[in-house]
Structure 1
Amino acid sequence: MDQVLYSSYIIKIPVISRISPSQAQLTTRLNNKTYFGLSSSRGNFGKVFAKESRKVKLISPEGEEQEIEGNEDCCILESAENAGLELPYSCRSGTCGTCCGKLVSGKVDQSLGSFLEEEQIQKGYILTCIALPLEDCVVYTHKQSDLI
């Protein structure tokens, strides 16, 4: 069901009962809209462009490797779930550390998180529930015990 907000413009906003970190980052402005990794702007006359795909290799504690597709608008945890993989998580907002992994190569944006200390980030620790891959990555999963 849509909810209508009244102002000088009428904007319909879908009511979302459960919002993921990637959905929380969605922005809406009159002339520039971004929805679920697709963007459109007035200057492009309604053309829709898909975000560039990133390869994320996940390595379990047992050494099992799984490669998934992701993009800079979808966190690693959500991309893994979409591919049918199960990773540990709890808060889904970067505040608990349950989903901790260690970035071996590549680059991620995890600016939404507040749990990791700067020293841990410098050592390569990431929170998969908020980490957005900016390039192809390799991540060791299940690293919560390293933070203790």
Structure 2
Amino acid sequence: MDEFYKYLLLSLVSELDGERGKAFFVSLLRGSKQKKVLYLLNKKSLWGYYNLLGLLSSRSVEAMYNELIDGKFLYIKSNRLTDGFFYPLLYVDEAAKKYLDEKEKEYSDRLRDVFESNGKIVDINRTMLDLSVQSDALPDVV
């Protein structure tokens, strides 16, 4: 796996350490429009990560997470949530925290640039949606 992808995936999990499972992270990185994904994007301000790996298949993104789990950077722990059910949640291991600290200087600027360009695309898409909703005649899709 590319080192930048590794940094990206670990930094996202560290933002939500123990709050969500692997399927959620895959959905967020692939640009899912599920309510739970969109809700947390706004609540935690994670728009920079949204749809960054949208061109990859779910299996590919999940395989990257599995590689990080196998490499002892992440681990899964089942926790009981408020509804009484157990959920497998993703946690950052000490090795990942050390890795993120070591690579921060190398990748933080690049990640910020990716977030900014992704944010501009999100803003442009929002503007286009607003304009199309305000327009009386929506263009026909061929």
TM-score bracket for the superposition, by shorter chain length: under 0.3
Choose between structure 1 and 2: higher strand proportion: 1
TM normalised by structure 1 equals 0.24
Q: Which has the higher contact order (CA 8 A, sep 6+)?
A: 2
